[in-house]
Amino acid sequence: MQPVAIDARGWGWRHAGRREWALRDLDLRVERGERVLLLGPSGSGKSTLLMALAGLLDERGGGERVGQLCVDGEDPRAVRDRVGVVFQDPESQIIMPRAGDDVAFGLESRCLPPSSIWPRVDGALQTVAFPYAGDRPTDALSGGEQQRLAIAGALALAPGLLLLDEPTANLDPEGAALVRDVLARVVDELQLTMILVEHRVADVLPLVNRVVVIESGGGCVADGPPDQVFREQGDALAEAGIWMPDRRLPAPPRRTRAASETLLLAERVGYRYPGASADALARLDLQVRSSEALAISGPNGSGKSTLALLLGGLLRPGSGVVRAGEALAPGRGHEPIWRWPARELVGRIGSVFQDPEHQFLTGRVRDELTLGPSRAGAPAVEADRRADELLERLGLAHLARANPFTLSGGEKRRLSVATALATAPSVLVLDEPTFGQDRRTAIELLELLAALRDAGRAICFASHDRDFSQALADRTVRLEPAGAVA
């Protein structure tokens, strides 16, 4: 299929139930075959624009549209077969148990004859350099391999427009590099039009020939070749929270810290998920201490998220035990933390999941923040005070009445952090805390966590973000597949 062109004239979109526009007054022309890096602060409407271009937004769901958005002169909803989409989380796009069947799924949904499906499947797998045969079980793939499979599924549809929404956000550095290599080869060979949203700006610059920067409610604020945009507007864009290719996170200010005490103790802890043939985590010993930030690093599949769940008391170990230190729960050190009642657990250990939506329970942002303190027994006045403080600190005050599930990815992550902080726990366990954050909110989160650490809390976080880990961590534990500690 030939590459497509994109036209936006005064276009904007407001999600159902929201007062503010996700994006408005957007004027943009993308020529056939252009490769665009789309940047903007958290909540500026980047993902909304990609969803609209994919034909996935419809006023019948309660949203409101202004202006005009066209793909090759037509409404995107009418030309969905010309658009391929790759999202942040590869697992959310994999449907079938075998790799070849997963790539074939989209073609079968379009009722193509079987004789034409499998040559296209094989061609797509070859294009992304998929390292296995089509019968490879999808649950045996690493994160990078899953994302290559997702890209193959999009390419098998022969799109003229490829939309990528932070395709390496959940990948370790090695997996992310593999995906970028695939994309570089694909766009060169197929000459697709490409719109890419990505926070790892320096890494993806070789893939693009144009940078477009948008802001919420204000349309396009910068547009041009990457070197020109960053040279002429770099300072202003960094101030607005845009990631720049040559600017790293600053280290937080160091404060006087209290003496460190053991709050959690993991002893020979391991876990194997039901039906799995190997341990997700095996025979790990670890201490989580007050006044310390502990980083958990390692490749996809090494057990970082599993360890976070175990340390949060949300998963019963298959072997070994996770106990509380005397400083966290006097007289309770003999008792595994997974046995604690929820009300007791939430007051001592706060958890932030890799997928923020997995911990939302109410229909309003503010209610999410008062729910935990209320269930832990805090008076309503105190619960309200904590909610107001966190809304302001994490830049969510203007979204207090919004439905949590309508927030942007970065806003959801900040809300998930706020819900964990609302009960004032002594231990905070976070899984990929900088996921979806712009530079400004990442710095604010870094300073907030550093201040909590310096006030005596224990911060334990799993992350692929090397800059964030280097800025915050006092100690780093690296996991390898099967839980071996490096």
Report pLDDT digits (tens) over 250-270. 888 777 777 789 999 999 999
| pLDDT tens per residue across span 10-68 | 999 988 878 888 899 999 999 999 999 999 888 888 989 999 999 988 888 788 999 99
pLDDT confidence of residue 319: 94
pLDDT confidence of residue 388: 93
pLDDT cut 70: percent of the chain above it: 99
Same topology between domain 6-239 and domain 262-483: yes
pLDDT cut 90: percent of the chain above it: 44
Cβ 192 vs Cβ 160: under 8 Å: yes
Structure tokens at 19: 């007062």
Mean predicted confidence (pLDDT) in 88-111: 86
pLDDT confidence of residue 164: 93
Fold category of 262-483 in CATH: Rossmann fold (3.40.50)
CATH architecture of 6-239: 3-Layer(aba) Sandwich (3.40)
pLDDT confidence of residue 136: 87
| pLDDT tens per residue across span 91-100 | 778 889 999 9
Q: Is the pLDDT of residue 328 over 80?
A: yes
**Residue type at 97 in one-letter notation:** P
**Residue type at 98 in one-letter notation:** R
Q: Which of the given ranges, 289-298, 331-340, 376-385, has the highest pLDDT on average?
A: 289-298
Q: Is the pLDDT of residue 484 over 70?
A: no
| pLDDT tens per residue across span 345-392 | 888 999 998 778 888 999 999 999 999 898 888 899 999 999 999 999
Query: CA-to-CA distance for 360 and 369, rounded, in angstroms?
Result: 10
Cβ 310 vs Cβ 281: under 8 Å: yes
For 96, residues 6+ apart whose C-beta sits below 8 A from its C-beta are: 102, 104, 105, 138
Q: Is the pLDDT of residue 312 over 90?
A: yes
Helix residue ranges per DSSP H, 240-341: 304-311
pTM to 2 decimal places? 0.82
Cβ 319 vs Cβ 269: under 8 Å: yes
Other CB atoms closer than 10 Å to residue 327's CB: what's the count? 17
Query: CA-to-CA distance for 297 and 428, rounded, in angstroms?
Result: 16
Cβ 382 vs Cβ 375: under 8 Å: no
Mean predicted confidence (pLDDT) in 220-228: 93
Domain ranges in the chain?
6-239, 262-483
Q: Is the pLDDT of residue 486 over 60?
A: no
Q: Exposure pattern of 11-42 as b/e (b: 16+ CB <10 Å)?
A: bbbbbeebeebbbbbbebebeebbbbbbbbbb
Query: CA-to-CA distance for 401 and 366, rounded, in angstroms?
Result: 6
pLDDT confidence of residue 482: 59
Confidence class for position 300, pLDDT limits 50, 70, 90 = confident
Residue carrying structure tokens 């098998």: 156
Confidence class for position 324, pLDDT limits 50, 70, 90 = very high
| pLDDT tens per residue across span 189-209 | 888 999 999 888 888 999 999
Q: Is the pLDDT of residue 187 over 70?
A: yes
Mean predicted confidence (pLDDT) in 454-464: 93
**Cα–Cα distance list, 38 to 51, 55, 208, 214 (Å):** 13, 18, 10, 8
Q: Across all residues in the chain, what is the average pLDDT?
A: 88
| pLDDT tens per residue across span 393-424 | 888 998 999 899 888 877 888 899 999 999 88
